[in-house]
A and B are shown apart, each in its own frame.
Chain A
Amino acid sequence: MKHVRYLVPMGILLVLLYFLRAGLNLNPKEVPSPLIGKPAPEFSLPRLDQPEQRISRADMRGQVWMLNVWASWCVACRQEHPLLVQYAKQSKVPIYGLNYKDERAAGMKWLADFGNPYTASISDRDGRVGIDFGVYGVPETFVIDRDGVIRYKQIGPLTPEVIHDTIEPLLKQLNS
């Protein structure tokens, strides 16, 4: 009975170790967005390919869609891009691109070089819409439902696992 006392510090240590261990698996670069479950911010931006035409939040109403934030200067986007191109071919969901803080010519060239998975890209030249979406690293990808509510945010490049395990089930649920 007397020895039980000695187990108390041991227990406390184990709890601490558990939390420290759990902390190792967290990625501090992934800051959970407060925008999940909230309506997507209002925007109205020119199309990258036809700047005289604008796309706004209202145009998206009634459909489930994905917003992929990309830029021609973004290295990780290049890594992600083939996956997006391939996924767009299955055309399960319209993917819109937010060309973030980029030159129009550079963005157009990038799409010509690497393929264009986007239904349309809109150009956020000064990054203001990006700020409204809480973008802090490119690429980022949002899944937005029929009512314009943000349901998911991927920080960093999409991976086949994320698409298969998270995005597809979510899309199924949102489209049903």
Chain B
Amino acid sequence: MTRLSLYSSNSIANMRKLIRRLFVTMAWSLACAGAFAAEAKPASDNPALEARVMKISGELRCLVCQNETIAASHADLAVDLRRQVREMLQNGQNEQQVIEYMTARYGDFVLYRPPFKPLTALLWIGPAAMVVGGLGTLFVVLRRRSRLADDAFEPDDKDASGDPHLS
């Protein structure tokens, strides 16, 4: 009792608030994790169609929550776009037409695999070019060094246990 009375009622209230917030946060994270695991529930009872809808939706970026696909997202817009994909497929349109429909409205950014064109060339080639460039440079430098005469290098430190920078 005496210990408890050391805390002002204010700080206890604050502590309670903090704990409640913590629980709310945890509950939210759990809910989100569950949502991810379940993906979105299908809206029609045709599993073949739903599979196609999900396959195409999995190629499309949700613009509201940009690191999610339309297949995985619960954002309102993603639900609407899945509906759109479903309807287009039901009307007999093919995957290509759905992709074109989406890029006409939202641009290449909706595609997780954007087409290769001048604007996206750096995106596609950039990482590979950097790796090739880096390895190439390393190769050239190492080769040049291996051809140098021994006296081009500083002699090895005799006392290997000591700090070479101090010698």
Contact = CB atoms under 8 A, between A and B. Distances in A.
Interface string A87-131: 000000000000001000000000000000000000000111001
Contact of A136 (B64, B104, B108): B64
Contact of B106 (A101, A126, A127, A134): A134
Interface in B83-142: 84, 103-109
A21 interface: no
Given A101-B76, A131-B84, A136 B107 contact: no
Contact of A31 (B63, B81, B84): B63
Contact of B103 (A34, A128, A131, A136): A34
Contacts, number: 40
Interface residues of B, number: 15
B113 to A, nearest CB: 17
B80 interface: yes
Nearest to B84: A131
- Interface SS of chain B: helix
Given A131-B81, A131-B84, A136-B77, A35 B105 contact: yes
B25 to A, nearest CB: 21
A91 B95 CA distance: 45
A134 B106 CA distance: 5
Contacts of B80: 126-128, 131
A33 B108 CA distance: 10
Contacts of A126: 80
Contacts of B106: 31, 33-34, 134, 136
Nearest to A126: B80
A137 B84 CA distance: 17
Nearest to A33: B107
A29 B66 contact: yes
Interface of A: 28-29, 31-35, 101, 126-128, 131-134, 136-137
Interface of B: 63-64, 66, 76-77, 80-81, 84, 103-109
